[in-house]
Amino acid sequence: MSAHRRGAEPVHRAFICPNLKRARIAILTNHRLGNITLTRDEPFLYPRPGQMTGHGLNASVAIHFPIHLSIHQALPIMSTRSDTLHRLLRQGPVTVRQLVEKLGISQPTVSRALTACGDDIIRIGCGRAIQYALRDSTRGFKCAPIYRVTDTGKIKPPGNLIPVYPDGFVMQPTDGVSQHSDAIPWWLFDMRPQGYLGRAYASAYADTLGLPTNPDKWDDTSVIRALLAHGHDAIGNLLVGERARDNFVAMPEPVPAERETAFPRLARAAGTGELPGSSAGGEQPKFCAYTARGHVLVKFTAVSDNPVSERWRDLLLAEHLALKALGVETQIFDFDHQRFLEIPRFDRVGPLGRKAVISLRALDAEFVGGGSASWPALVTRLVDEKCVTPDAAWRSALLWAFGRLIGNTDMHTGNLSFISHHHGGPYELAPAYDILPMGFAPKTSGDMASTLRPASLPENIDADIWHEALALAQIFLEEIRRSDRFSASFAPCIEALRHHIDEAAVRIARLG
């Protein structure tokens, strides 16, 4: 038995009201009824018939009995149903059925509780797959509007990006079904500050944003905060937040730059983070510009005249000739002691139009998970998933084989991308970029190689592709040998490249 005297300390006991059709959990505190959430094995007070009043229960006539609840987590006495619901949703999205099982209440009661929480509850999916998530307002923003820029420079509002517990995001489209991701959505992945431009941006703005100076240490929320602050000219065709939208709308139409004066100035500014431009990755120093040819990405060498800078000048010229062999119209300029490689941007159309661009790294992470597999292997799986167009398999294999034959040792998944000429997939392979004999690149120690390891010929590449790649490699070699803009120190590299291609040609001939 348990007794409660008037004026004594409140007695907190739970009971089940027996005269209701559905057993309801309540609490006795100073003879008043209230809400409760019980721990496992919490004893109930069970009133004898006729002893419950409209205001409370005489605890002296109640008896204890133990009951085992199907609640998996201990919940504190006196927390409200809303508190309990929030606590469960902080662990991640759940279905109504899961909430019914964990809370031990009916589905209609769960639905009412979700509705009572207002816009803190985010609905995901449709039909039987519907889940509910809890908005995470502690990350510095409750909602980030997403805008898409068309190829004619017009803005379309696809929807809103909402941070939810514990670490993910929900994309609420203006027309369609909301989708949840455990991390930053894959279609925003390439917009994160990265490489040379990303570090330059971080050095300029990290303190203002309250973030580490190394962008590689930024979490997903930090990336979104950076895009909300300075995301109007990022790679691709998306804008994150109202500020990015307003800045894009207010942008004047670009005026073509005078290369000879503008390029050295823009190179200096890029080094200090003053003109981060897009978030295009890669470690080679670069900046974005607008010239008579349209929007371009410009790689450049250092002003200093030393063996390392000289090697990079030679490699930029080699990249120019490699891309020329592949049909990409680049241009090379020498101003003072700097060399500039101008590459057309394939995510820009005219003065203001844009296209979506997604790297192989982003597509692999979302749809394949192949990690360190080669371009052909990953793209073949993406074709099977209908994420990219069928011809992308053949074209990516050709680029990869060509890279092998010219000594390109840096063909990671960030160096192959896809574009969309419409909203959504399947995506088409983008023009080639970052194709050059990186086997000759200066090491971090300052050492420079002038030899190449023999190229292997994996069997997953068809003989026809190897033969076509060989023809392109021989065109590239001939262009290099005819150029008079390479330094004398690059001559051993040219000879090594000739031997490398000739040796591969002998083995390719045996493939039939």
Catalytic residues: 410
Please give the Cα distance from 165 to 64 (Å, whole number): 39
Identity of the amino acid at 83: D
| Listed residue (300, 293, 240) closest to 270, CA to CA | 300
| Peptide bond just before 76 cis, omega within 30 deg | no
| Listed residue (346, 357, 421) closest to 150, CA to CA | 421
Concatenate the DSSP letters of all residues of 4-28 into one string.
--TTSPPP-EEEE-TTSSS--EEEE
| Peptide bond just before 166 cis, omega within 30 deg | yes
3-state secondary structure (DSSP) of residue 55 = coil
Please give the Cα distance from 340 to 495 (Å, whole number): 25
Residues 6+ apart with CB under 8 A from 367: 381, 382, 385, 387
Residue 496 near residue 320, CB atoms below 8 Å? no
Length of the chain, please? 512
Handedness of CA 305, 308, 310, 316 (dihedral sign): negative
Residue 501 near residue 405, CB atoms below 8 Å? yes
Listed in order, strand segments (DSSP E) in 108-154 are 121-124, 131-134, 144-149
Identity of the amino acid at 120: D
Listed in order, strand segments (DSSP E) in 336-406 are 338-344, 348-349, 353-354, 356-359
